[in-house]
Structure 1
């Protein structure tokens, strides 16, 4: 079929080939693969220490120079999402007026939760408020560590990072992809969201470049999450079973997770991603019940402290200007965004 946006005559799938159970776009796949391999080889050639120092310098430079951009961009995403919800645009049905859901609400929430939070929440849901409360890397808004104010602030700042602001980033990208793919008939790729701006040039090398950048950003973003997750899992194994596993254990975990993820993608949403997400949600619910029962006397007061700490400090935490806690803001909020 042809795309439904009036001016385009781009044929669906004309550049794609079927390989290994995947639908591969030749220019994007090949160029991305070469750039990834060249990057990895370059990092290996310069040595781990040199590569680490170079990447840290690059990361810190980006965080310091573009802190306001990241902060205000995320604020804008959140406000824009609320505008969409409250405006007539919020009544647009993804897939068209007669579209029906392919998955149950519970399965959909499970997939969103697993993809959006993943392993990070299990670790940082505990480590993050503890770090803020004890001044491990500064405290939010420079409150006094170990104080009652620090307790509420630590819980509220954690909710700030894992709550509406973070999900608004996901929401805007997801809505863009979903609208142009399922309402306008364009390919499910980032380039499609730029079609109203670039027109048919989105199907040429300008569009290829956009998708290649998206692939690289996604891959190295996932590499960060997977690397941190492998470290966390290894530390857990070492603590519980008295092991001394290090890089070898981490590589084993990364290989196993990558294999399971690839298998789930090949099996598709229904046979892979949804199944894993539902299992993950059941395990998370069991953990939630266990923690609630064991720590009942702490759960309710902490819940109120979290809500009040978030509500009273979200405006200040969202504002990058005039902050005296720039070290904390750069190391946590800007890094996250």
Structure 2
């Protein structure tokens, strides 16, 4: 199990040059592409046969995995440990809520809303799994199924992977790769071939998933350009679109998270809200509000039954073509989307992360699907429009045919095309960012050419398969890859359970041992009053660390050496750290560190001033008390108290 005092951060291998993960994953991708290009028909037939076998034999397992993830997330969000931060205790989020939500959508299922917002509800209405098509019951069922496929379960899969990556990466300082989520189960074996295999698998799934989506998605961009400007529908045009998207994605990758992806995400979210409002206000607004409430009610009342429904008593092919297809797609995309979500979620609590990642995007998705889906179904039912034929003939053109029935069709269609392009750019650049980190074993300081390499690789794979006709087979292969990765997801659930149980033991040890900050009792009470109204400059804190903190920890270091206890002291300009290697193989580190804060003197005055403090910093984060003015002996006592707490925690952990 992992805990904040024994995270194996010092055991990470040095990552210099090209990693074996980079080489192996590149070679396997080339082999898969060659197979798909050289024998597209045979490859497609083989993959479809494998998918059919999975549907027939392992559909129950997909359902079990998805249901287990949902139950685990409910537990994590409701647990007493849900206030744990994804990072040190004093960390705070890097992004505001609006920016965070925008980036979630851009890397998650934003493009799907445009492609399937009209098409999927209409298709379920025209061809329901059970019942009579084109009836009121079919309309209700169509939106219930659409909500089910795009709702809590889809974002729950992403949330699990993202939570594990952020928790182990930011709180326990493990490498920011998928292998780290399995540390409580595998231990240091994550640094060997098993860990490499997990990351290689995630890289292949991400590249193929983004590439196939890019390849199929250009069809919608091409369809929109043909609809508006009579641009030919051709492979060469679509290849040009892939080149343009790849160049834009590469530029965004090089600009980093805080510029390219963040800005594009905010722009696209604004356009999405604008398009949603336009369709909502110019359509049948009251009817849409009514159907939204009813759709949510139908979904919530039937979500448990839908979760476990395998149509076992009335077998049909529908579940394999829809529900299991979606579960496989979300699972195969979870390393990519999960890692991106984790990268932008440092500092949030577990509860905040789960609720934010699931409820807010799901709420927007339900609103979008209702506005576009119910409007399309209503056009077919009440006005006899020919939209159904367009949907069945070509999903890519469905959105633009739908927009014909609303004001400013050309302008709105142009906005929709722009949104699709931006969604593809943000998916491609965030995909390249994630793959680059996985290939470098979590090292973010890798050469620029590696980021460019993965960005262009995704575009190149999509283009080659587009010309060779192998996109369909690779999409099927991506879905098939979800089966073995489902086992990894279950191991991630176990890893989080084990590590959070360790956090619980840590809290218990802190509550059941002596208080860490009683050294004020050794002070004269007048001196304690003086400290309440004292501010310090950064230089004064640095002097205190150098003149009092360093000698105190040096004395402890010497004492540990006399007892043959392995310890190490490190001195920096603003901090001094004493790390002790314990007999059980764990390590404990105590640091005195300068921290500048806005200090509110509520005990004596209502004024608020800035001050510098010398705070104790453990691997959980700052301990939120100032030791300025302590003597060397008081600092020594403080360090030993923390060390004793750690010892009690290790004792509890062994018992469990």
Q: TM-score, normalised by structure 1?
A: 0.89
The question of 1:76 aligning with 2:65 is answered no
Match of 2:20 in 1: 27
After TM superposition, give the deviation of residue 251 of structure 1 in Å.
Answer: 2.1
C-alpha contact (below 8 Å) 2:179/2:190 kept by paired residues: yes
After TM superposition, give the deviation of residue 244 of structure 1 in Å.
Answer: 2.8
The question of 1:175 aligning with 2:163 is answered yes
Give the 3-state SS of the residue equivalent to 1:260 in structure 2: helix
After TM superposition, give the deviation of residue 248 of structure 1 in Å.
Answer: 1.9
Counterparts of 1:143 and 1:220, CA distance in 2: 36
- Please, which of 324, 329, 334 is the counterpart of residue 334 of structure 1? 324
Match of 1:277 in 2: 265
RMSD of aligned Cα (Å)? 2.0
Matches within 5 A, 1:1-337: 6=6, 8=8, 10-12=10-12, 14-17=14-17, 26-46=19-39, 48-135=40-127, 139-140=128-129, 142-295=130-283, 296-321=285-310, 322=312, 324=314, 326-337=316-327
**Consecutive unaligned residues in structure 1, runs of 5 or more:** 18-24
Counterparts of 1:249 and 1:61, CA distance in 2: 37
C-alpha contact (below 8 Å) 2:9/2:173 kept by paired residues: no
Q: Which structure has greater helix proportion?
A: 1
Flag the structure with more relative contact order, 1 or 2, with Cα contacts below 8 A and sequence separation at least 6. 1
Counterparts of 1:66 and 1:268, CA distance in 2: 40
Provide, for residues 53-77 of structure 1, a one-character-per-residue CA deviation record: whole Å limited to 9, x for no partner. Answer: 3332233333333211112211111
After TM superposition, give the deviation of residue 99 of structure 1 in Å.
Answer: 0.5
Give the 3-state SS of the residue equivalent to 1:91 in structure 2: coil
- Consecutive aligned runs of 4 or more in structure 1 exceeding 4 Å deviation: 9-13
Counterparts of 1:162 and 1:111, CA distance in 2: 18
Mark the CA change 1:212 to 1:241 in structure 2 (over 3 Å): closer, same or farther.
Answer: same
Give the 3-state SS of the residue equivalent to 1:226 in structure 2: helix
Aligned residue pair count: 323
C-alpha contact (below 8 Å) 2:8/2:174 kept by paired residues: no
Counterparts of 1:302 and 1:242, CA distance in 2: 36
Counterparts of 1:190 and 1:156, CA distance in 2: 33
C-alpha contact (below 8 Å) 1:153/1:310 kept by paired residues: no
Counterparts of 1:317 and 1:7, CA distance in 2: 40
Larger Rg: 2
Provide, for residues 219-251 of structure 1, a one-character-per-residue CA deviation record: whole Å limited to 9, x for no partner. Answer: 222223223312222222223333332222222
Give the 3-state SS of the residue equivalent to 1:89 in structure 2: coil
Q: TM-score, normalised by structure 2?
A: 0.47
After TM superposition, give the deviation of residue 312 of structure 1 in Å.
Answer: 3.1
Q: Which structure has greater strand proportion?
A: 2
Mark the CA change 1:244 to 1:5 in structure 2 (over 3 Å): closer, same or farther.
Answer: farther
Counterparts of 2:86 and 2:9, CA distance in 1: 23
Give the 3-state SS of the residue equivalent to 1:244 in structure 2: coil
Counterparts of 2:215 and 2:309, CA distance in 1: 29
After TM superposition, give the deviation of residue 93 of structure 1 in Å.
Answer: 1.0
Provide, for residues 245-273 of structure 1, a one-character-per-residue CA deviation record: whole Å limited to 9, x for no partner. Answer: 22222222223223322322222110121
Mark the CA change 1:231 to 1:213 in structure 2 (over 3 Å): closer, same or farther.
Answer: same
After TM superposition, give the deviation of residue 10 of structure 1 in Å.
Answer: 4.8
Counterparts of 1:252 and 1:52, CA distance in 2: 25
After TM superposition, give the deviation of residue 101 of structure 1 in Å.
Answer: 1.1
Match of 1:21 in 2: none
**Consecutive unaligned residues in structure 2, runs of 5 or more:** 328-656
Provide, for residues 71-105 of structure 1, a one-character-per-residue CA deviation record: whole Å limited to 9, x for no partner. Answer: 22111111111111111121111112111111111
After TM superposition, give the deviation of residue 52 of structure 1 in Å.
Answer: 2.7
